[in-house]
Structure 1
Amino acid sequence: MKLYYAETLAPRKACAVAGYLGLPIDYVFVDLRRGEHTQPAYLAINPNGKVPTLVDGERKLWEADAIICHLAQRADSPLWPHEPAQQIDVVRWMSWNSQHLYRHAGSLYFEHLIKKWVGLGAPDDAKVAESQRFFRQHTAVLDQHLKGRKWLLGNALSVADFSVGVTLPYAQSSAMPLDEFPEVRRWHDQLNEFDAWRKPFPEHAQQAEQAAAHA
């Protein structure tokens, strides 16, 4: 298997799950600054020009949530639950995240981190305020749900936890008011106990060259 990634939000969840499962994967870094995601060779495997993409034999998968479900199934891991009702719950939380929490937490991530990274200037105060308002609204739903539950589906860790939590490692640097939600904070602290969650990205060649240059 080959996993094409960049060090951004959606690939983070794919790399974290792959690392957690310990699957034999070749990681291929896609340099977004150089536009490698827009080149014909990459568009041939992902016509959206986005990351991540997984190539597993003849199968080409894009969309991070689909990829992490595939990886869990491939490993026969309980991260993809066997019970149909729990599988539906996984889909429910992934859908909720993409429409609500990820959308607004991702906006804060963009305003505070990505804009600076690509030279687009300072955060837009109005957009930050709006995204924080929606972040509070949707995180309150998650906080209430987590009361009395260790993980999203109950006592068992699943791919839904990796999906829904993916923006939270950037809470402090992106001005997400995470500390207002003790259950969500507790839940994310549990995710932080996993090495694959804290350090999901492999060291790619460019990083190794930079480290060697400064050694």
Structure 2
Amino acid sequence: MKVYCHPVSTTSRIVMLYAAQEAPELEFQLVDLLSGEHLKPPYAAINPNCLVPVLEDGDFRLTESSTILKYLADLNGSPSYPTDLRQRARVNEMMDWFNTNLYRDLAYGLVYPQVFSQHRRPSPEVQAATLAWAKEKAKGWLAILDGHLIGANKRYLCGDTITLADYLGAEVVGLGELIRCNYSAYANVERWLQTMKALPSWPKVHEAFDGFAGSLKDTRFVAI
């Protein structure tokens, strides 16, 4: 099986982190986002969305990171995607929560418009309003994540063992490091994120991301 990806891509790192921990047999094919390879016809033929990641299993392809995780976990019989109906539903709920709530406002509202030119708003006034709105919305989601979804007594998002929701959620929250977000006001979030960062595979998976963040160290950002 092959995964088309780029390590600076948040959605790619979701799959890369899971694979490094649980599916090391996967082959990774770099798609150079910085040169625009994902927009060219050869890659568009693989994924007409022109996005990463893509999982290729023979003649079968999947294009959404959340679905890719679930497919791989089912193939491997991974305990990180439990078979108990209610436990699995809780994992699915958490994954959907990140994708539809925090990721939308933190990534597309706050981080990406400041880091990637194609996401920048058309005028300084619109850019400033977008960032202000997204910052407040993201803070609200983080407060919910901290006080209600993680809380003080859980090691991981769905209990005491790691699940697919943790792989996905940690990359969404960790994205804030590109603009130097400070999560100290969210003690449970910070504790959980540090638990995820202690995974043996975390440093290797994040080498390119950390390098990219380092290249932005002198840039001023609106951040949490």
1:111 aligns with 2:113: yes
Total equivalences in the alignment = 202
Could you tell me how far 1:19 is from its partner in structure 2?
A: 0.8
For 2:186, the equivalent position in structure 1 comes to 181
Structure 2: how far apart are the matches of 1:67 and 1:150? 24
Normalising by structure 1, report the TM-score: 0.84
Code of the residue aligned with 1:27 in structure 2: it is: F
Contact 1:108 1:176 survives alignment (8 Å): no
For 2:221, the equivalent position in structure 1 comes to none
Runs of 5+ unmatched residues, structure 1: 204-215
RMSD: 2.5
Could you tell me how far 1:201 is from its partner in structure 2?
A: 5.7
1:165 aligns with 2:166: no
For 2:97, the equivalent position in structure 1 comes to 96
- The secondary structure found in structure 2 opposite 1:132 is helix
Residue 75 to residue 62, structure 1, CA distance change in 2 (3 Å): same
Normalising by structure 2, report the TM-score: 0.81
Could you tell me how far 1:76 is from its partner in structure 2?
A: 1.6
Structure 1: how far apart are the matches of 2:119 and 2:141? 27
Code of the residue aligned with 2:33 in structure 1: it is: L
Residue 121 to residue 178, structure 1, CA distance change in 2 (3 Å): farther
Code of the residue aligned with 1:114 in structure 2: it is: F
Contact 2:98 2:172 survives alignment (8 Å): no
Runs of 5+ unmatched residues, structure 2: 209-224
Structure 2: how far apart are the matches of 1:41 and 1:121? 34
Structure 2: how far apart are the matches of 1:172 and 1:2? 28
Contact 1:115 1:121 survives alignment (8 Å): no
1:45 aligns with 2:46: yes
- The secondary structure found in structure 2 opposite 1:154 is coil
For 2:58, the equivalent position in structure 1 comes to 57
Structure 2: how far apart are the matches of 1:108 and 1:178? 15
Tell me whether 36-45 or 155-164 shows the greater mean CA deviation: 36-45
Report Cα offsets for 1:66-111 as digits up to 9, x if no partner. 1111122222211111211111112111111111111111032213
- The secondary structure found in structure 1 opposite 2:104 is helix
Report Cα offsets for 1:28-78 as digits up to 9, x if no partner. 111123222123322222121110001012210110111111122222211
Structure 2: how far apart are the matches of 1:175 and 1:99? 23
Code of the residue aligned with 1:57 in structure 2: it is: G
Residue 201 to residue 138, structure 1, CA distance change in 2 (3 Å): closer
Code of the residue aligned with 1:110 in structure 2: it is: Y
Percent identity, aligned pairs only, is: 26
Structure 1: how far apart are the matches of 2:46 and 2:22? 24
User: Which structure 2 residues correspond to residues 1-215 of structure 1 after superposition, within 5 A?
Assistant: 1-6=1-6, 7-106=8-107, 107-115=109-117, 124-144=127-147, 145-147=149-151, 148-200=153-205
Higher helix share: 2
Could you tell me how far 1:202 is from its partner in structure 2?
A: 8.2
